[in-house]
């Protein structure tokens, strides 16, 4: 409804003269207040006729509102008695539906007294109702001030209400008029507007209007507060949305567009993996940090690196154990020749694991032996027979605890330790992890790796293993750890205590030959896509290779040489298409392999053999022989030891000298030799350090030989510790030493009586053939065998000969 200010357009001439009767225009839903101009659509025929009549007369109408909007032909009771006298301002516009659009201006309050119909429209008999109390009183001005203030407040809240309406209003008439105009511009209800119309008393009207507007102000203020709050929330949401969009744009500029998607992907992956709570929290923390960082910053890559690690570990994945003893035996047999004792122990161990409920608390197996004897491949076979993943951790040279347990994330380039790295490789929570060369760990200022490893192996602690890098607990209790070592003595004691040692010693020549024939050659033929007709080699040549081209307890070098020969064969076959096969001959061997890098310990086999004795030594790669030379020179009783001898070996030499001095008489040696003779003991191949007490009896024999000019037997070798009293004490590494004696074709070996039980074990494992083994408990026993002629004057005591078979082997070449 268009309502405009009426004050300016008001025409005084239209006020006079008033008829007491005017055509009645009843309105629906509209109350017209004095001094307002309003367009009206006149639709009812009766009303159209009333308007047409008014137009013909002086354009005046009596306008009032209907009480009930649905009544079409109202009577006196159907209309409000209070209405206004109004004047039609322009010629009406006829609308297409026949209705008339008129613009009327209300002139003043009037009250209908009577209604009657004539000429088919209604007439109203009315009286004017002038405003009461519209005089210049204090109350009026006070009320006006109040109304003004209230309206001003209202205009601030409703911008449609014109504020200039109240400017320069002073006289009571102006106040009277503007009060009605204010009512027009305030959002009053139909009833409230009618009530204002009916209140002719200006004081009363102003008061009423004030109250109504104040109520409206209250409503508007509350509404504004609510709207403000809603808007704040909406704005906040909008702001966030806007910022996010902006961030996306910045990320895009920085090439970070894919980052958010990627982070979401990582988040989803973390959820899918069902990480333990701790790990999940850490990942979430890092992802949140990641979101804030530029993607190419170093911090971002640290966070990303960490999250990647956590997500790539197996937290729940397990392989199903398939321990079948029969199958395990089969797998061990198909991959390894011999080793029956070792296989038996492994099968026992697997059986116990299958049977026992406390599977994870059993001791950790440790396969001990020289390199190349198949420790690693045995562990692989164990994992295969259990259906578990296999991972190898090399502990050789590990000095720092952090290598086991990882570096803290704060270090640049930090990584988890070897254990967690192995778990990632394993991709399951229960792999077999091989702790290779557990005896080769050492310690330095950065903590003891053995202590960290102890925690890894302890079933009480390894459920909650903490890697410094991960910084969350990781459960290692389902992992099966198996260790390997070369030298048991070098394993740190606390670790040794947790291990169940299975010894694997070196192979004899015939064992090596069998392994080469049955395993190494067929396996490598297959790997090189050759068939057994294309590559042939005789047993003699294989033996020659073992003998001349390898120096090892295991078969690793042998395998390397076999593969080299196969590669050369392939080359040969490719170069000469007519050739269908290659048979390895000794000439080809020399051509392809050249001369051997390994020189056998050269032994003094010729000459008188005075002052020389051959001992047996144990090294990490197996047994070896050790030729000890001595010479006695005129001098002042100095003792010189050369050939890089360790402290213990030097002490053995002095013990031997003291023993000889104490037996000088029986040996027919001049008692003054230690004052007027210099003694020089030398062990050739001086670049190799040697130590240990087991060369004691050998040094003693060599010295006696030199002092008595009595030649030693060059087909005898020996090992044993000597005491001042001349007792012979036990030594270690018996099997390897006997293998070396066999390899160098000695006929007789003197070993300590105390090693008798070890000898029984060795006999079960290897075939010593015709090797004559003499058990000696004193030096007298040794001297009786080591010399061609016993240097002792006295009758030699009974010697217990373990092998009585007459030797056929020759002295070493
Ligand atoms: P280690 O771990 O003791 O140093 P490996 O397990 O690496 O030794 O063995 C070296 C090579 O020798 C492997 O190819 C292995 O298959 C082979 N090998 C060692 N012992 C045997 C054996 N008894 N039977 C068959 N192959 C063997």
CA 180 to ligand 1 center in whole angstroms: 113
Q: Is pLDDT larger for residue 226 or for residue 717? A: 717
Task: Please state, in angstroms and rounded to a whole number, the distance separating the CA atoms of residues 20 and 36.
Answer: 22
**What is the number of alpha carbons within 13 Å of residue 134 lying toward its C-beta?**
20
Alpha carbons 615 and 703: distance in angstroms, whole number? 13
The span from the CA of 628 to the CA of 606, in Å, is: 15
Contacts of 757 (CB under 8 A, 6+ apart): none
Q: Which residues line ligand 1 (CB under 6 A)?
A: 336-339, 371-377, 484, 515, 519, 554-556, 559
pLDDT at 811 over 80: no
- Answer whether residue 171 shows pLDDT above 60: yes
Ligand 1 atom nearest to CA at 370: 3
Of the two residues 277 and 20, the one the predictor is more confident about is 277
Ligand 1, atom nearest to 378 Cα: 6
pLDDT tens for residues 356-381?
A: 755 556 678 899 988 899 999 999 99
Work out the average pLDDT over 544-559: 88
Confidence of residue 776 (pLDDT cuts 50, 70, 90): very high
> What's residue 569's pLDDT?
93
Going from the Cα of 552 to the center of ligand 1, the distance in angstroms, rounded, reads 12
CA distance 101 to 116: 24
Q: At residue 493, does pLDDT exceed 80?
A: yes
Residue 795 has pLDDT above 50, yes or no: no
In this prediction, residue 361 carries a pLDDT of 63
Q: What is the pLDDT of residue 321?
A: 83
The closest residue, in CA terms, to atom 5 on ligand 1 is 374
Confidence of residue 2 (pLDDT cuts 50, 70, 90): very low
Share of the chain above pLDDT 70, in %: 91
Q: How confident is the model at residue 8 (pLDDT cuts 50, 70, 90)?
A: very low
d(C-alpha 32, C-alpha 268), whole Å: 68
Q: Which of 367, 335, 329 is nearest to 350 (CA)?
A: 329
The per-residue pLDDT for 16 is 40
Q: Which whole number is the average pLDDT over 51-71? A: 91
State the pLDDT at residue 170: 84
- 335 CA → ligand 1 middle, Å: 9
Q: What is the mean pLDDT of residues 267-290?
A: 90
Predicted TM-score (pTM) of the model is: 0.60
Ligand 1 centroid, distance to 542 Cα (angstroms): 17
pLDDT value for 412: 72
Across the range 787-806, mean pLDDT stands at 55
> Which of 377, 438, 521, 559 for a ligand 1 pocket mutation test, highest count of atoms within 8 Å of Cβ?
377
Nearest protein CA to atom 19 of ligand 1, as residue: 374
Which atom in ligand 1 lies closest to the alpha carbon of residue 380?
A: 6
pLDDT in the model for residue 4: 35
Distance 374 CA to ligand 1 centre (A): 3
Kindly provide the b/e burial profile for residues 478-514, where b requires at least 16 CB atoms within 10 angstroms of the residue's own CB: bbbbbbbbbbbeebbeebbebbeebbbbbbbeebbbe
Q: What is the average pLDDT score of the chain?
A: 85
Centroid of ligand 1 to alpha carbon of 524 (angstroms)? 13
Q: What is the DSSP letter of 490?
A: G
What pLDDT is stored for residue 357 in this prediction?
A: 57
Nearest CA residue ID for atom 24, ligand 1 = 336
Task: Assess contact for 755 and 618: CB atoms under 8 A.
Answer: no
What strands lie across the sheet with 772-776, from one edge to the other? 639-642, 677-682, 622-634, 612-619, 716-718, 748-752, 772-776
The stretch 133-140 carries a mean pLDDT of: 88
The count of other CB atoms within 10 Å of the CB of residue 580 is: 9
For a mutational test of ligand 1's pocket, the pick from 502, 554, 563, i.e. the residue with the most ligand atoms closer than 8 A to its C-beta, is 554
- The 10s digit of each residue's pLDDT in 618-629 is 877 778 888 899
For residue 197, CA distances in Å to 193, 659, 680 come to 6, 144, 143
Mean pLDDT of the region 597-606: 62
Average pLDDT over residues 651-661: 90
Three-point CA angle 102, 106, 109, nearest 5°: 145
Measured CA to CA in angstroms, residue 297 lies from 267, 294, 492 at distances of 20, 6, 44
Mean pLDDT computed over 653-664 = 89
Ligand 1, from 366, 373, 375: best to mutate by most atoms within 8 Å of Cβ?
Answer: 373
Axis crossing angle, helix 586-593 with helix 556-575, rounded to the nearest 10: 100
Pull the structure tokens for residue 40.
């009206």
Q: What is the pLDDT of residue 355?
A: 77
Residue 423 pLDDT grade (very low, low, confident, very high; cuts 50, 70, 90): very high
pLDDT in tens, 75-110: 888 999 999 999 998 888 888 888 999 999 999 999
Which domains, and CATH codes, for the chain?
12-128 (2.30.130.40), 255-312 (no CATH), 325-503 (3.40.50.300), 509-593 (1.10.8.60), 612-800 (3.30.230.10)
List residues with catalytic annotation. Answer: 694, 737
Of 250-259, 567-576, 587-596, 747-756, give the lowest mean pLDDT range: 250-259
Q: Which two tokens stand for residue 103?
A: 């613009």
Quickly state the pLDDT bin for 717 (edges 50, 70, 90): very high
The residues, ordered by sequence, that sit 6+ positions from 522 with a Cβ below 8 Å of its Cβ are 532
Long-range contacts of 513-517 (CB under 8 A, 24+ apart): 513/539, 513/542, 513/543, 513/546, 514/337, 514/338, 515/337, 515/338, 515/555, 515/558, 516/542, 516/546, 516/555, 516/558, 516/559, 516/562, 517/542
């Amino acid at each position: 409804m268009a309502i405009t200010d009426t004050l300016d357009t008001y025409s005084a001439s239209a006020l006079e003269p008033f008829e007491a009767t005017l055509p009645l225009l009843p309105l629906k839903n509209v109350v017209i207040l004095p001094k307002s101009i309003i367009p009206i659509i006149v639709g009812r025929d009766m009303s159209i006729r009333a308007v047409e009549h008014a137009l013909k007369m002086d354009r005046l109408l009596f306008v009032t509102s209907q009480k009930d909007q649905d009544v079409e032909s109202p009577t006196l009771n159907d209309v409000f008695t209070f209405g206004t006298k109004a004047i039609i301002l322009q010629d009406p516009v006829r609308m297409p539906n026949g209705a008339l659009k008129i613009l009327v201006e209300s002139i003043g309050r009037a009250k209908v007294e009577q209604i009657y119909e004539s000429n088919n429209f209604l007439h109203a008999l009315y009286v004017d109702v002038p405003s009461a109390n519209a005089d210049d009183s204090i109350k009026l001005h006070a009320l006006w001030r109040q109304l003004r203030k209230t309206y001003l407040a209202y205009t601030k809240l409703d911008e449609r209400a014109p504020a200039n309406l109240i400017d320069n209003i002073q006289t009571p008439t102006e106040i009277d008029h503007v009060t009605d105009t204010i009512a027009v511009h305030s959002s009053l209800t139909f009833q409230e507007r009618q009530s204002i119309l009916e209140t002719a008393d200006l004081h009363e009207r102003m008061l009423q209007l004030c109250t109504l507007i104040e109520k409206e102000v209250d409503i508007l203020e509350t509404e504004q507060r609510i709207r403000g709050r809603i808007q704040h929330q909406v704005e906040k949401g909008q702001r966030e949305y806007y910022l996010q969009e902006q961030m996306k744009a910045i990320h895009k500029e920085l090439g970070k567009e894919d980052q958010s998607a990627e982070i979401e992907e990582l988040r989803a992956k973390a959820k899918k993996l069902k990480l333990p709570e701790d790990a999940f929290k850490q990942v979430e923390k890092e992802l949140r940090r990641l979101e804030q960082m530029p993607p190419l910053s170093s911090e971002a890559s640290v966070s990303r690196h960490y999250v990647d690690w956590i997500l790539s570990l197996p937290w729940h994945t397990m392989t199903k154990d398939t321990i079948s003893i029969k199958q395990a035996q089969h797998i061990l047999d198909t991959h390894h020749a011999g080793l029956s004792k070792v296989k038996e122990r492994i099968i026992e161990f697997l059986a116990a694991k299958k049977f026992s409920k406390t599977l994870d608390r059993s001791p950790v197996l440790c396969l001990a032996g020289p390199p190349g004897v198949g420790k690693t491949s045995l562990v692989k076979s164990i994992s295969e027979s259990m259906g578990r993943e296999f991972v190898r951790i090399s502990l050789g040279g590990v000095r720092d605890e952090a290598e086991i347990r990882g570096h803290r994330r704060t270090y640049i380039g930090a990584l988890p330790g070897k254990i967690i790295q192995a778990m990632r490789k394993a991709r399951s929570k229960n792999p077999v992890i091989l702790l290779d060369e557990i005896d080769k760990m050492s310690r330095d200022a950065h903590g003891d790796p053995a202590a960290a490893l102890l925690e890894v192996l302890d079933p009480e602690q390894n459920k909650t293993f903490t890697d410094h890098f991960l910084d969350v607990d990781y459960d290692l209790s389902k992992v099966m750890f198996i260790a390997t070592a070369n030298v048991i003595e070098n394993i740190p004691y606390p670790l040794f205590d947790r291990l169940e040692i299975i010894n694997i010693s070196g192979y004899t020549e015939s064992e090596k030959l069998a392994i080469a024939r049955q395993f190494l050659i067929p396996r490598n033929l297959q790997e090189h896509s050759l068939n057994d007709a294309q590559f042939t080699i005789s047993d003699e040549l294989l033996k020659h290779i073992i003998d001349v081209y390898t120096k090892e307890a295991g078969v690793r070098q042998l395998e390397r040489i076999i593969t080299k020969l196969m590669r050369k064969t392939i080359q040969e076959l490719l170069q000469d298409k007519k050739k269908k096969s290659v048979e390895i001959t000794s000439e080809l061997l020399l051509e392809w392999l050249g001369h051997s890098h390994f020189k056998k310990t050269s032994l003094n086999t010729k000459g008188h053999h005075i002052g020389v004795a051959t001992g047996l030594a144990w090294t990490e790669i197996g047994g070896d022989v050790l030729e000890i030379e001595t010479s006695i020179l005129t001098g002042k009783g100095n003792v010189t030891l050369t050939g890089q001898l360790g402290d213990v070996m030097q002490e053995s030499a002095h013990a031997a000298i003291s023993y000889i001095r104490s037996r000088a008489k029986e040996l027919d040696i001049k008692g003054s030799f230690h004052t007027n003779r210099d003694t020089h003991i030398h062990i050739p191949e001086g670049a190799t350090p040697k130590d240990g007490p087991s060369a004691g009896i050998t040094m003693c024999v060599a010295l006696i030989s030199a002092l008595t000019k009595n030649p030693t037997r060059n087909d005898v070798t020996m090992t044993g510790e000597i005491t001042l009293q001349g007792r012979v004490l036990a030594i270690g590494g018996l099997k390897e030493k006997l293998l070396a004696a066999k390899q160098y074709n000695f006929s007789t070996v003197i070993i300590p009586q105390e090693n008798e039980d070890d000898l029984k074990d060795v006999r079960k494992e290897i075939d010593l053939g015709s090797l004559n083994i003499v058990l000696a408990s004193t030096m007298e026993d040794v001297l009786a065998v080591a010399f061609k002629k016993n240097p002792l004057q006295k009758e030699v005591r009974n010697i217990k000969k373990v092998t009585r078979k007459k030797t056929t082997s020759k002295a070493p070449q």
